[in-house]
Structure 1
């Protein structure tokens, strides 16, 4: 299990397979940008020297033809349904699919459905290690819904939002989700409709420990705009493709 991988199960969290830990990147981009600035300064100085030895160029007349303004109303602003920012800047919990009737709310989702920075870091094996990474990755907030069905099955869905002032962290977190899911043995995967590169996975080999029932798992990862989506399903019985795909497609449809 990689260092800092999140624990993503309810009562069986310590027995659940690990999820992704975000990778760090950006140093190369910064070095390239710095080199570009230095080159620009050198080129500008050379240009001043050349220009100083040239004859002055006669300027054109300040009188220019007036361009008529186009008639008619300007473009209509986007409606709330069309503007992604209007949707995602509101109550993030409203974008989560509702808990199905007949299920019991999971105890880890009873904090009004919100996960702040500390809550989200606590879902990792080493919170102290992941906490500063989440700050530098511009973590903004996360919303969660979870439920248990009977005594054998649990579901958890998270929407993790980033500020993304420096880079596309939502896409990076989803990509790391794909990476770690595909490293599990006995894994089947499918593309997730309605997304650019979202994926759903069923792990056919259960986790086993003495004294515990075998624990099967399935997961799905995708991103849209500044939100990364995580769907996790656990059961003591094998999980079908239809089950994880239905949950993931319904959640994507609300983003």
Structure 2
């Protein structure tokens, strides 16, 4: 049986096939609708521009803020130099060290130059002096003042280490580190120094023997105030009394 001619734009019908439907040729109606929509948007934008152009310009708020009236009353007087701690600590740091007791002798060990201790010398007291030197530079080491003396039974050395403290509280961190190692020694007792927050003194009851030397007893204090870390060291061939190291710590902190 022959098949009739196929009309252009249409596919052949397949009877009995569910969902089958003839193809439809695309007309011009969709194009006209799309063009009309674009023209409508353009017309809306133009109308909005014309409406805005006919309006009066709106003034912008001023950039400057109103001047607030100052409170009445006199400005507080600056602290006198003897009460302004900043004035004291920015001056000659050596003057804040406690004085040598009467009858005390000059120390027979190297201890700075004219009361000042250079960064390299201070770092040299530690085993890992190179690492300590770099750490002090990073912490903003500013300067260190030192004093000391020899007595009948004990030698004393006191250091005031000042930091710039531009980024960290280096004085407090230095004291925390020193306290950790002091407390880590065996047979050691410690006590808080009154009025200093977390400042402490340490007494080591067992001597520290070294080959070729007599056994040495020791005590130490580590305290901070503001930008200054305080170190006090006492050594001797006899045990160091708690009263001795505590008295040194309290007297030194009174000067700060």
Using a 3 Å threshold, how does the CA distance of structure 1 residues 71 and 217 change in structure 2: closer, same or farther?
Answer: same
Using a 3 Å threshold, how does the CA distance of structure 1 residues 249 and 63 change in structure 2: closer, same or farther?
Answer: closer
SS, match of residue 130 in structure 1: helix
Contact (CA 8 Å) 1:108, 1:146: kept in 2 or not? no
Alignment deviations for residues 12-52 of structure 1 (CA, whole Å, 9 cap, x no partner) = xxxxxxxxxxxxxxxxxxxxxxxxxxxxxxxxxxxxxxxxx
Contact (CA 8 Å) 2:112, 2:121: kept in 1 or not? no
Tell me whether 82-91 or 101-110 shows the greater mean CA deviation. 101-110
Using a 3 Å threshold, how does the CA distance of structure 1 residues 174 and 235 change in structure 2: closer, same or farther?
Answer: same
Using a 3 Å threshold, how does the CA distance of structure 1 residues 58 and 254 change in structure 2: closer, same or farther?
Answer: same
Using a 3 Å threshold, how does the CA distance of structure 1 residues 67 and 235 change in structure 2: closer, same or farther?
Answer: same
Contact (CA 8 Å) 2:145, 2:161: kept in 1 or not? yes
Q: Which runs of 5+ in 2 are unaligned?
A: 1-57
Alignment deviations for residues 140-163 of structure 1 (CA, whole Å, 9 cap, x no partner) = 00000011113x420000000001
> Which residues of 2 match residues 196-235 of structure 1 at below 5 A?
196-235=197-236
Work out the CA distance in 1 between the residues paired with 2:64 and 2:194: 58
Using a 3 Å threshold, how does the CA distance of structure 1 residues 204 and 78 change in structure 2: closer, same or farther?
Answer: same
Contact (CA 8 Å) 1:156, 1:233: kept in 2 or not? yes
Alignment partner for residue 121 of structure 1, among 119, 123, 132?
123
Using a 3 Å threshold, how does the CA distance of structure 1 residues 62 and 242 change in structure 2: closer, same or farther?
Answer: closer
Using a 3 Å threshold, how does the CA distance of structure 1 residues 78 and 212 change in structure 2: closer, same or farther?
Answer: same
Task: Name the structure 1 match of 2:141.
Answer: 139
Task: Name the structure 2 match of 1:103.
Answer: 104
Work out the CA distance in 1 between the residues paired with 2:186 and 2:66: 71
Cα RMSD (Å): 2.3
- RCO comparison, higher one (Cα < 8 Å, 6+): 1
Q: Quick check: which has more Rg, 1 or 2? A: 2
Work out the CA distance in 2 between the residues paired with 1:182 and 1:211: 26
| Cα shift at 1:188 | 0.6
Tell me whether 63-72 or 107-116 shows the greater mean CA deviation. 63-72
Work out the CA distance in 2 between the residues paired with 1:65 and 1:226: 40
2:178 pairs with 1:177: yes
Task: Name the structure 1 match of 2:34.
Answer: none
| Count, aligned residues | 199
2:237 pairs with 1:236: yes
| Cα shift at 1:178 | 1.1
TM-score, length basis structure 2: 0.71
Task: Name the structure 2 match of 1:87.
Answer: 88
Using a 3 Å threshold, how does the CA distance of structure 1 residues 211 and 76 change in structure 2: closer, same or farther?
Answer: same
Work out the CA distance in 2 between the residues paired with 1:134 and 1:246: 29
Task: Name the structure 2 match of 1:188.
Answer: 189
Contact (CA 8 Å) 2:222, 2:229: kept in 1 or not? yes
